[in-house]
Amino acid sequence: MIKIEHLAIWVRNIEELKTFYEKYFDAKSNKIYHNKTKDFRSYFLSFGAGPRLEIMQMTGIQHSANNESNQSYGLIHFAISVGSKELVDSKTDELRAAGYKIIGEPRTTGDGYYESVVLDPEHNRIEITV
């Protein structure tokens, strides 16, 4: 069986991102991996079923050209399913109240998804969906 095992993103503040996903999306983390030779650190975050998210930090990594209004080719977002429209709405409200930027209000898209879009602390796009 072929499946996506994990996705990885470079981050500036690995501990802040780990805490964000643990707090707001119930992620479970492994212990940090640290390669001292390369000054590389990573965590794997699990969300129950499905692919894991690897957050990685290393000196010398360049900033992405993506931002909330101008996007670039490549991976642009990932979606986290919370289970219901009501939970999409409440999770969106919770993140807004905590000061995170909502760039897509809860809605049903043209292809039938009910979702909102929030930026994590490092401005990665997360679709919150049923």
Task: Tell me what the mean pLDDT of segment 49-56 comes to.
Answer: 94
The candidate with the shortest Cα–Cα distance to 76, out of 106, 117, 44, is 117
Reading the block at residue 128, the tokens are: 């919150």
Confidence of residue 67 (pLDDT cuts 50, 70, 90): confident
Q: What is the pLDDT of residues 93-111, one digit of tens each?
A: 999 999 999 999 999 999 9
Q: pLDDT, tens digit, for every residue of 76-96?
A: 899 999 999 999 999 999 999
- Please check the confidence at residue 64 and state whether its pLDDT lies above 90: no
Q: What is the mean pLDDT of residues 39-49?
A: 96
Distances (CA, A) of 28 to 1, 55, 92, 113, 120: 24, 13, 21, 26, 17
**Position with higher pLDDT, 62 vs 74:** 62
Identity (one letter) of the amino acid at 21? Y
